[in-house]
Amino acid sequence: MSNFFAPVIGQTQAIALLTQAIDRQRIAPAYLFVGSPGVGRSLTAQCFIQQIFCTNVPVAQHPQIKQRVQLGNHPDVLWVQPTYLHQGQRLTAAEAADAGVKRKAPPIIRVEQVREIAQFLSRSPLEASRNLVVIEQAETIAEAAANALLKTLEEPGLATIILIAPAVEALLPTLVSRCQRIPFYRLSREQMTQVLQQASDENLQMSPTILAIAQGSPGDAIAAIQQLQAIPAELIKALTHPPRSLHSALDLARQIDKTLETEAQLWLIDYLQHAYWQQFLAGDIQHSPLPYLEQAKKYLRSYAQPRLVWEVTFLQMSQLQPQ
């Protein structure tokens, strides 16, 4: 049989545990894929489902099965994501972004979605040996939804439910106790490079700041470079070093307020913190601008006026710089 987990880089322990479960025909009714975002948890779930569905099936049918799972149109797979509620309609994060919906609160897994899971599992699988449900960002499950999910986890029927979360502590202990835990780890620098090369984005491995932000998560690295590419190059260049004058401080604050949404401004702070950390690592930490950036992040999250936040921050930072 072909290596269904070939697309997954690293995560040897997770792959070994899941492969053994299939080989020994001891697939658990529920799994918890726990680890940092962007390290391959969802991809591993997809590969796991593909191998389950292809087991004891003629090899000639494998490509079609794998493709249907990958495209999300297999009748025996239900993939659940957190949603926003907009005008009575549930939207995933991607759907909300495409629709231009303003997002004030984070998306969650709702009671209605858990009811749909129960309904999906109430029928026998149509083609495969079992039904499969994947719940991404399971840490966003609302309390009422979590309580409803407990009943489904106790008696899932001929099915397997996979919860994906960043940490065990992010879920109710009662949910965790009903799942077999599969650990995922951050990747080494070599593994990161391998993933980024496969993504055909050589720029990712060229930026130490991006790799520092990612901290072993290829998904975070790809998201970071996309964020960086969305910010005007001349603005990034101007921010290479903290502002040195009153004029440059006020001008940069104006540009950021005019160009970037609040979420992008928060990401920019993370980027500048990593970039400036390298600059001041060997210098005088007491005169580092990092505390001012951390303070700016708190103000932005408190919905303070962004331009004023940046003006104050850059003015404070400019006083640290030699004129």
- The pLDDT of residue 224 is 87
> Could you tell me which residues come within 8 angstroms of residue 299 by beta carbon, excluding any fewer than 6 positions away?
309
DSSP strands (E only) in the chain = 30-34, 77-80, 84-86, 89-91, 131-135, 159-165, 180-183
| Cα gap 276→115, rounded to integer Å | 48
Nearest to 29 by CA among 158, 119, 115: 158
Q: Closest by alpha carbon to 78, among 45, 34, 40, 37? A: 45
pLDDT per position in the chain (323 positions), as tens? 468 999 999 999 999 999 999 999 999 999 999 999 999 999 999 999 999 999 999 999 999 999 999 999 999 999 999 998 888 889 888 888 777 776 667 889 999 999 999 999 999 999 999 999 999 999 999 888 999 999 899 888 899 999 999 999 999 999 999 999 999 999 998 898 888 877 765 555 457 788 888 889 988 888 888 888 889 999 999 998 888 889 999 999 999 999 998 888 999 999 998 888 877 665 555 567 888 999 999 999 888 999 999 999 999 988 876 54
Tokens 């697309």 belong to 7
**What pLDDT shows up at residue 287?**
64
pLDDT at 26: 95
Cβ contacts of residue 123 below 8 Å, gap of 6+? 131
Query: Whole-prediction pTM value?
Result: 0.80
pLDDT at 235: 93
Q: What whole-number distance in Å separates Cα of residue 238 and Cα of residue 128?
A: 56
CA–CA gap between residue 167 and residue 170 (Å, rounded) = 5
Assign 134 to helix, strand or coil. Answer: strand
pLDDT of residue 242: 86
Whole-number Å distance between alpha carbons of 118 and 158: 12
3-state secondary structure of 50: helix
pLDDT of 63 reads 95
State the Rg of the chain over Cα: 23
pLDDT at 62: 96
Q: What is the pLDDT of residue 182?
A: 98
What pLDDT sits at residue 226?
A: 85
Residue 135 · residue 80 · CB < 8 Å: yes
Task: Give the count of beta carbons closer than 10 Å to the beta carbon of residue 290.
Answer: 15
For residue 319, the model assigns a pLDDT of 82
Give the angle subtended at the CA of 273 by the CAs of 315 and 230, to the nearest 5°.
95
